[in-house]
Amino acid sequence: MMSFRKDFLANGSAFALASVVAFAGLSDYTAQALLNFESGQAAMPALAARYLALFTTAPSSDAGAGGTEVSGGAYARVQVAGSAATNNTTASGNATLHYASVPSWIVAGMTATDITTPGVIPSGATVLSTTTTTVVLSANATGAGVGNGDTIVFSAWPAASASSGNEPATSPASVANGATVTFAQATANWGTVVAFGLYDAATSGNLISWDYLGAYKWVPFTCASASPGVLTCDSTSDAPANSSSIVVTQKFGGGLPTTGGSWAGILTTANLSGATFTAGVNTTSIGGGSFRQVTQQSIPSGVTASFSGSTITLSAA
């Protein structure tokens, strides 16, 4: 799950202790752009392409610092959203878009939205197939149809759903990828990938947001003083199975229990009982925070990393 949740301080940064993992979500770049927009000082940055990056070490700051992105071995970020202008019309009742050359990053499962003539492509329409010059959608154009030169935005994610419930039993606003995201075949060992990020450029660029791998959400918990400390979440459905990998962070305005060790890094769960479990950390006080399960993915040489639909989740609470 990629979480867009962010507990803001005055500068838009998430609050985290050095001994705790940084809270995944909006980067400083995105948070500052959002705050400038909300306060009427500037427009949001123009709609741009998005590229998915893989990390073997998650970022330790909202600026993206401290993270280790995969490099070498034929690794390259994958474009997961962007736009392309048609070179012919698509009449109402027809589902085929026309291009001089269909960009290779447009793949089946992506959503399509006409931002030149809003509404002529029905909401939720996705790419069924592509050729070198055409894109076939899952729904026919309506109204006046798609014009010659219309800008069509394609994305690996559909429209987000709204949040529901109240914390701690909160289901955040979220959206899971509908299109499969496939990287180039590794020609060397890429290591064990634990997190990913969205950038606005194929190399360098601005980090938009990041989170850990896995289709999971951040879950609030309380923790008792014990050896090891016992974590309790609101629902048994949110409690991770034994031997799960999790990360833990402090919530804004709260405090994690003090320990003789550290909450940092990826922890392993045990002693599951209902909504309670342990994570191998001895605690000397009570407290609380948030945890998130992590899917660690080893990508050795010769493997083609591919993330199927509903495995990369963006969320906001």
Please report, rounded to a whole number, the percentage of residues in the chain having pLDDT higher than 90.
Answer: 66
Whole-number mean pLDDT of the chain? 88
For residue 4, pLDDT beyond 50: no
For residue 62, pLDDT beyond 80: no
CA proximity to 195, closest of 302, 93, 295: 295
Helix (H, G, I), strand (E, B) or coil at 82: strand
Separation of alpha carbons 285 and 130, rounded Å: 58
- Predicted confidence at residue 271, as pLDDT, reads 98
For residue 313, pLDDT beyond 80: no
Q: Write out pLDDT tens, residues 240-275.
A: 999 999 999 887 656 888 887 889 899 999 999 999
For residue 10, pLDDT beyond 80: no
Q: What is the dihedral of CA 213, 218, 219, 225, to 10 degrees?
A: 80
Q: DSSP label at 36?
A: H
Quote the distance between the C-alpha of residue 212 and its chain's center.
Answer: 8
**The two three-digit tokens of residue 295, written as one number:** 């899917």
CA proximity to 25, closest of 208, 176, 175, 193: 208
9 burial class (0-12, 13-18, 19+ CB within 10 angstroms)? exposed
Cα-only R_g, the chain:
21
